[in-house]
Amino acid sequence: MLKNMIRKRFKTTSRRIAVPALLTIVLYVITMFMLFLPRIEQSFINRKKEMIYELTETVWSLIDNYHARELSGELTRADAQHRAILRISNLRYGPEKKDYFWINDMTPQFIMHPYRPDVVNKAIKDIKDVRDSSLKNILLKFNEVVAEKGAGYVDYYWQWKDDPDRMSPKLSYVKGFQPWDWIVGTGMYLDDIYAEITAIRNKFMAISTAILGIVLMLSLYSIRQTMKADKELMRVSIERKKLNESLKESKERFQSLLENTSDWIWEIDGKGQYTYSSPRVEALLGFSSDETMHKTIMDFVPMDLKNRYQETFKNLLGSQKSFKGFETTCRKKNGRHVVVENNAVPVFSENGGLLGYRGVTRDITNRKLAMEALKKNRDDLHANLEETVKSLALAEEKRDPYTAGHQTRVDRLACAIARELGLSDHQIEGLHFAALLHDIGKIALPSEFLSKPTLLSHQEHEIIKCHAQVGYDILKNINFPWPVAQIVYQHHEYLDGSGYPRNLTDKQILLEAKILTVADVVEAISSHRPYRPSLGVEAALEEIRNGRGVRYHAPSVDACLKLIRDKKIDLS
């Protein structure tokens, strides 16, 4: 009969656990592949579109600069246009350095195209190549978008970079320059985008498959463990049923069953001395019931731990209230230690006087060990997060080897400043991760800009400044317990609003970002760069002194100066 009941319970429990687990997996698949993944892909495409938009705007600014020089009389229009064409025709970007810019006018005809010189300054009717049969439509599309909106996106087919024998779908951003009736543009090949999206999808599918496998294994494990518990509960239930039946038969039977329960049952007087102790105490502590009489729980606590529990036990007795979860470490008769949990309710006389307590003591040694194991797992997870963040920081340094170690040195200095200012350990830990990742956005910038041995041009500097925004975009969807993405976003903002990318002012900037800004400036000035040698620590300190309270957070500046003056931090 017991086997039949267990078998029936097994089927019920299996369905109870398996169905929700299966529904969870299905919901996960639907959520990930129908909602989350399409959003990631769309976000990726939007970032690419934003990139060609920003690049086109930068080149447009370059043309506008030459136009300004024309208006000032420094250059003639022909000379200004010639210099602009020459400058733009040599610009390249992308992983293969084959992505380019072109210029056409409203005629329409191409004024400059680095890979198709054969169509430059030619009327459409004069171009006879079969592959360029739709060229007129493409140029007309460019003109229509500029005429209607001034700028916009256009999709069409074009030759693959410098390969005239391969045609590929392309999405471009074009913008008109009205003073010269020019249209400047650049684009991205959709085949590239789809290839990157496919790689992301494949990686995501691999991760999802692993997660689903883990969920399935955990579900099977839960079913197995639940069945073990149900089996044990079934047996206990049957035993309790027998106990209830025996209670009706005799008081002796009740006493016998009571004394065989798994917990140590006891009664104490107002002083905490045992007046009754069930035989279970022998299995728990190794002492017989008689040996516990007229003793207190403190008599079983090791001498070196008594001070830890004595005052609490005294207060519990004096409160005359129920207590739960009073944990003590006891020394068994064989010398071993066991952790127990004591729960009790007060017993009062008819006139309301306290007679003592009636309670149970339970062995929780295994539970404590499990909690310690859980804490270790939590610490391991934290260590994994640390290593993951360091790997991301290392990935950025691989792109910019001239600043290798910069993020680590900034991390050390920023955390030292934070400690000097009295920030909490939680805030310092968040600042630590933000400092390690503050330049992660440079991973998306052209490497030739990062390692350029001369000063950057205005346009190049503007592109470099995008790294704060890019870093924020990379980190904003990661669920850190600290505002890491915002700190990275703000680490180039100054108190007076002269920073970038959003020109924030004092009250709009996080304290951690203000600290990071000071550390970043000091480390950058005192370290070597591709375009200059180190300016030295004194130059770095002079910069933050001059900007104290104007650009830089005054308490952070003071703390930094103190740390370096007292030689508590080494910038070498």
3-state helix, strand, coil in the chain (%, to 5): 60, 15, 25
Mean pLDDT of 251-256: 60
**Residue 173, strand partner residues:** 153, 186
pLDDT tens-digit readout, 80-134: 999 999 999 999 988 888 889 999 998 888 999 998 888 888 876 666 553 445 6
For residue 132, the model assigns a pLDDT of 47
Fold assignment, 374-565: Hypothetical protein af1432 (1.10.3210)
Which is higher by pLDDT, 433 or 36? Answer: 433
d(CA 430, CA 482): 5
Are 277 and 292 a contacting pair, CB within 8 Å? yes
| Per-residue pLDDT at 348 exceeds 50 | yes
Residue in this structure with the two tokens 């060229």, named with its chain if needed: 135
Q: Please tell me the distance from the alpha carbon of residue 556 to that of residue 548, in angstroms, as a whole number.
A: 9
Top pLDDT among 520 and 440 is at 520
Alpha-carbon distance 540 to 494, whole Å? 16
β-pair type (102-105, 182-189): antiparallel
Angle (nearest 5°) at CA 445 between 516 and 499: 40
Fold of 44-196: Beta-Lactamase (3.30.450)
Edge-to-edge strands, sheet with 323-331: 274-277, 264-269, 354-363, 337-348, 323-331
CA distance 317 to 319: 6
Asked whether residue 198 carries a pLDDT value surpassing 50, the answer given is yes
Contacts of 151 (CB under 8 A, 6+ apart): 56, 145, 173, 174, 175, 176
What is the average per-residue pLDDT within 350-362?
87
Q: Which two tokens stand for residue 389?
A: 């963040």
The CB density around residue 8, as the number of other CB atoms within 10 Å, is 10
Instruction: Specify the higher pLDDT residue, 90 or 215.
Output: 90
Q: With 90 as the cut, is the pLDDT of residue 349 above it?
A: no
pLDDT of residue 17: 64
CATH 3.30.450.20 fits 262-363, yes or no: yes
End-to-end CA distance of the chain: 78
Contacts of 71 (CB under 8 A, 6+ apart): none
- Strand partners for 323: 344
Highest average pLDDT, of 250-254, 256-260, 306-310, 396-400, comes from 306-310
**Other C-beta atoms within 10 Å of 357: how many?**
23
Which range among 43-57, 68-82, 382-396, 424-438 shows the weakest confidence by mean pLDDT? Answer: 382-396
Backbone angles phi, psi at 216, to 5 degrees: -65, -45
Confidence bin at 403 (pLDDT 50/70/90): low
Residue 13 has pLDDT above 70, yes or no: no
Residue with the two structure tokens 């079913």: 223
What phi and psi values does residue 93 have, to the nearest 5 degrees?
-150, 180
Which residues lie across from 231 on neighbouring strands? none
Q: What is the pLDDT of residues 49-70, one digit of tens each?
A: 899 999 999 999 999 999 999 9
**pLDDT-derived band of residue 503, with 50, 70 and 90 as boundaries?**
very high
Q: What is the DSSP code (8-state) at residue 548?
A: B
Which residues, other chains included, contact 41 with Cβ-Cβ below 8 Å and sequence gap of 6+?
A: 197, 200, 201
Say what the pLDDT of residue 130 is: 38
CB atoms within 10 A of CB 162: 12
* Inter-axis angle of helices 406-421 and 365-399, nearest 10: 130
Alpha helices in 150-279 (DSSP H): 190-249, 251-259
Eight-state DSSP code of residue 99: B
pLDDT at 393 (0 to 100): 59
pLDDT at 289 over 90: no
For the chain, what is the mean pLDDT? Answer: 81
